[in-house]
């Protein structure tokens, strides 16, 4: 995602492939308790819960969720503490280890997306790409956008809720697009300086003054003259005139930066940010690149992802300690990275999977150096992994790899240092999603790798891949 995102449901592995027998097992049932971790806002957790209410495509409120230090579950209509963050991490590790020894595949989703019946359009030439939770989109010649993958909330923008496992038809009514970004269940684009968004809108992340989902693009209220856009988990931000920033959607953690914690379905001004040249939006925090290549961030800071030396959250922008001369920024769910002049990279925040790239798995609330990469030309973060492009358009990634999102030919749990993506050279753009990654190579071909449960790799299947595959529909 241009920037990082917050996701409705965390799946900690993908579909098993091969000729193994299908069907649920005791091992799978024990894994589901952790696989379906529903990330709920503080406002939801503070209220009553209703067993059986759908939250994500695979998870219900009866599954686990997290809020701060404690993991919660729904019992007798109220949220109850279930385990500490450390205990959950130990359970996750145990489950992932069990996955490598069991031969019983996970059963299909309980509520799969509708059949993918969209006819394939003629091949297109991609110029850049974005990845959301389980969908991907490419900007093609002529300023049009094509999307593929999960479409339960209309995030593909094709006028229906049918997902596709290949590059589908153009997003309805969009031409002249100059930038785009994929969030959890929504997607945004810029057209003539105006912001257009489509998909899920439960927290106002489409910015049209309503909280109604839309299967086609709607205009964001109050955004004109914009030069960059970033879709986060359930919020979005735009860079406007004089380097000011406007954001809209969920604001539980202050990710809108307007000095409040009140959601807004129209754009509000970020307090204290001027002269910005780039922006990124993550699960529950946002950042901007400002004068002299400094970085400023706001929102949730539980893991130190704001980078100001403490773990205190902030609903106004605070300068990150360390990076100067930055030329690009990106954010994952709970970590943030900056590309510096000269091609070095620094990251900060959550490091449980090694996504900071410093050779360790220790969180950091100040910027640390990424080891083993130099001459970097592009930077992106998925929910818990990070990728770069280096000389020759070679892609390198590090962090979580439970669905092959590092693209190095393995499903190894993680890597704390950068590894080469198999099958990607001559790349001109790269973008990380939840547990998948996509790139555009010379010639306008789109390639993706990692999780593919909803067809987000675009290769005509729903089978995950630990190496890059061509997206169908691009020349």
CATH number of the domain bearing residue 247? 2.130.10.30
The structure tokens 């005139």 sit at 241
Residue 95 three-state SS? helix
Q: Which of 99, 118, 136 is the last residue of a domain?
A: 99
Q: pLDDT > 90: what percent of the chain?
A: 73
Assess whether 161 and 256 both reside in one domain: yes
Q: How far apart are CA 202 and CA 195, in angstroms?
A: 18
Residues 74 and 182 in one domain: no
pTM given for the model: 0.78
Q: How confident is the model at residue 118 (pLDDT cuts 50, 70, 90)?
A: low
Residue 282 within any structural domain of the chain: yes
Q: What is the pLDDT of residue 168?
A: 87
On whether both 353 and 397 belong to a single domain, the answer is yes
Beta strand 445-450 with 465-470 is antiparallel
Q: Per-residue pLDDT tens for 156-210?
A: 999 999 999 999 899 999 999 999 999 999 999 999 999 999 999 999 999 999 9
pLDDT at residue 15 tops 60: no
Q: What is the DSSP letter of 170?
A: B
- Radius of gyration, CA atoms only, the chain: 20
Residue 55's pLDDT is 35
Q: What is the DSSP string of 138-160?
A: EEETTTEEEEEE--TTSTT-SSS
Report how far residue 281's alpha carbon sits from residue 222's, in angstroms, rounded to the nearest whole number. Answer: 19
Using left for φ > 0, alpha for ψ between -120 and 50, and beta otherwise, residue 158 falls in alpha
Q: Are 23 and 29 in contact (CB under 8 A)?
A: no
Query: For 53, which DSSP code?
Result: -
Overall domain count for the chain? 2
Kindly indicate the confidence band of residue 475, based on its pLDDT and cuts at 50, 70 and 90.
Answer: confident
Q: What is the DSSP string of 421-464?
A: PTT--SEEEEEE-SSEEEEEETTTEEEEEE--TTSTT-SSS---
Determine the pLDDT at residue 102.
42
Which has the higher per-residue pLDDT, 238 or 23? 238
pLDDT of residue 90: 53
Q: Range of 232's domain?
A: 126-470
Residues 197, 237, single domain; the answer is: yes
Confidence check: pLDDT of 34 > 60: no
Query: Buried b vs exposed e over 429-444: b needs ≥16 C-beta within 10 Å?
Result: bbbbbbbbbbbbbeeb
% the chain with pLDDT above 70: 75
Q: What is the mean pLDDT of residues 73-78?
A: 52
Question: Is residue 39 located within the same domain as residue 157?
Answer: no
Classify residue 168: in a domain, yes or no.
yes
- Looking at the fold, whether 200 and 87 belong to one and the same domain comes out as no
Banded pLDDT at 122 (limits 50, 70, 90): confident
Q: What is the pLDDT of residue 145?
A: 98
Report how far Cα 319 is from the mean position of its chain's Cα atoms: 23
Domain membership of residue 118 (yes or no) is no
Residues 6 or more apart in contact with residue 75 via CB below 8 angstroms: none
Segment 335-389, tens digit of pLDDT: 999 999 999 999 999 999 999 999 999 999 999 999 999 999 999 999 999 999 9
Lowest mean pLDDT among 20-34, 119-133, 328-342, 401-415: 20-34
Mean local confidence (pLDDT), 398-406: 98
β-bridge partners, 446: 440
Position 93 scores a pLDDT of 52
87, 130: one domain = no
324/128 Cα distance (integer angstroms): 27
Half-sphere exposure of 172 (CA within 13 A, CB side): 15
Residue 31 token pair:
């894994």
Residue 12 has pLDDT above 90, yes or no: no
In a domain, 347, yes or no: yes
Q: Which of 94-98, 103-107, 280-284 reaches the highest mean pLDDT?
A: 280-284
Query: What is the per-residue pLDDT for 180?
Result: 98
Residue 225 inside a domain? The answer is: yes
Q: Which of 82-91, 132-141, 412-421 has the lowest mean pLDDT?
A: 82-91
Residue 324 reports pLDDT greater than 80: yes
Could you give the dihedral angle defined by the CA atoms of residues 297, 299, 303 and 305, in that order, rounded to the nearest 10 degrees? -20
Shared domain check, 76 and 197: no
CB distance 280 to 4 below 8 Å: yes
Q: Which two tokens stand for residue 350?
A: 């959550």
Query: Is residue 214 pLDDT above 70, yes or no?
Result: yes
* Cβ atoms of residues 404 and 453 within 8 Å: no
Of residues 457 and 71, which shows the higher confidence score? 457
Q: List the 144-149 sheet strands across, edge first.
A: 126-131, 135-140, 144-149
User: Mean pLDDT, to the nearest integer, of 447-470?
Assistant: 98
Decide: 165 and 462 in contact? Cβ < 8 Å.
yes
Q: Both 168 and 298 in a single domain? A: yes
Residue 90 covered by a domain:
yes
Q: Are residues 187 and 317 in the same domain?
A: yes
The better pLDDT of the pair 255, 18 is held by 255
Instruction: Give residue 32's pLDDT band: very low, low, confident or very high (50, 70, 90).
Output: very low
- The verdict on residue 253 lying in a domain is yes
44 and 147 housed in the same domain = no
79 lies in the same domain as 137: no
Q: Is residue 115 part of a domain?
A: no
The residue written with tokens 């959250």 in the block is 313
- pLDDT tens by residue, 257-273: 999 999 999 999 999 99
């Amino acid at each position: 995602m241009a920037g990082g995102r917050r996701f409705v449901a965390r799946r900690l592995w993908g579909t098993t492939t091969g000729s193994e027998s299908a069907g649920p097992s005791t091992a799978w049932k024990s894994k589901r308790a952790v696989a379906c971790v529903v990330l709920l806002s503080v406002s939801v957790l503070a209220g009553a819960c209703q067993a059986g209410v759908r939250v994500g495509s695979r998870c219900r409120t009866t599954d686990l969720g997290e809020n701060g230090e404690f993991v919660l579950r729904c019992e007798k209509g109220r949220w109850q503490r279930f385990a500490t963050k450390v205990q959950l991490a130990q359970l996750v590790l145990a489950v992932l280890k069990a996955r490598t020894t069991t031969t019983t595949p996970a059963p299909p989703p309980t509520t799969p997306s509708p059949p993918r019946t969209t006819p394939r359009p003629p091949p297109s030439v991609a110029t850049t790409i974005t990845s959301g939770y389980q969908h991907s989109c490419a900007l093609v010649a002529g300023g049009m956008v094509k999307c593929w993958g999960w479409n339960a909330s209309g995030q593909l923008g094709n006028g229906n809720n049918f997902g596709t496992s290949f590059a589908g038809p153009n997003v309805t009514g969009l031409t002249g697009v100059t930038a785009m970004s994929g969030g959890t269940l929504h997607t945004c684009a810029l057209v003539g300086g105006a912001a257009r968004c489509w998909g899920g809108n439960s927290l106002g992340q489409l910015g049209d003054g309503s909280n109604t989902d839309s299967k086609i693009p709607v205009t964001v209220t109050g955004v004109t003259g914009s030069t960059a856009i970033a879709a986060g988990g359930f919020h979005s931000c735009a860079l406007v005139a004089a380097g000011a920033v406007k954001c809209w959607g969920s604001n539980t953690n202050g990710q809108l930066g307007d000095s409040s914690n009140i959601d807004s379905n129209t754009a509000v001004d970020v307090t204290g940010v001027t002269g910005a040249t780039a922006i990124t939006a993550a699960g529950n925090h946002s950042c901007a690149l400002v004068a002299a290549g400094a970085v400023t961030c706001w929102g949730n800071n539980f893991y130190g992802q704001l980078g100001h030396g403490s773990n205190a959250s902030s609903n106004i922008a605070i300068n990150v300690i360390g990076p100067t001369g930055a030329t690009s920024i990106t954010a994952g769910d709970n970590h943030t990275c900056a590309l510096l002049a000269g091609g070095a990279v620094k990251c900060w925040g959550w490091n449980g999977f090694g996504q900071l790239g410093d050779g360790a798995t220790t969180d950091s609330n100040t910027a640390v150096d990424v080891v083993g990469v130099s001459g970097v030309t592009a930077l992106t973060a998925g929910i818990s992994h990070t990728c770069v492009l280096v000389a020759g358009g070679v892609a390198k990634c590090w962090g979580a790899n439970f669905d092959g999102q590092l693209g190095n030919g393995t499903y190894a749990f993680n890597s704390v240092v950068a590894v080469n993506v198999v099958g990607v050279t001559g790349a001109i753009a790269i973008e990380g999603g939840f547990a998948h990654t996509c790139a555009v190579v010379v010639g306008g071909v789109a390639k993706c790798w990692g999780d593919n449960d909803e067809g987000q790799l675009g290769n005509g299947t729903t089978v995950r891949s630990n190496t890059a595959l061509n997206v169908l529909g691009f020349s």
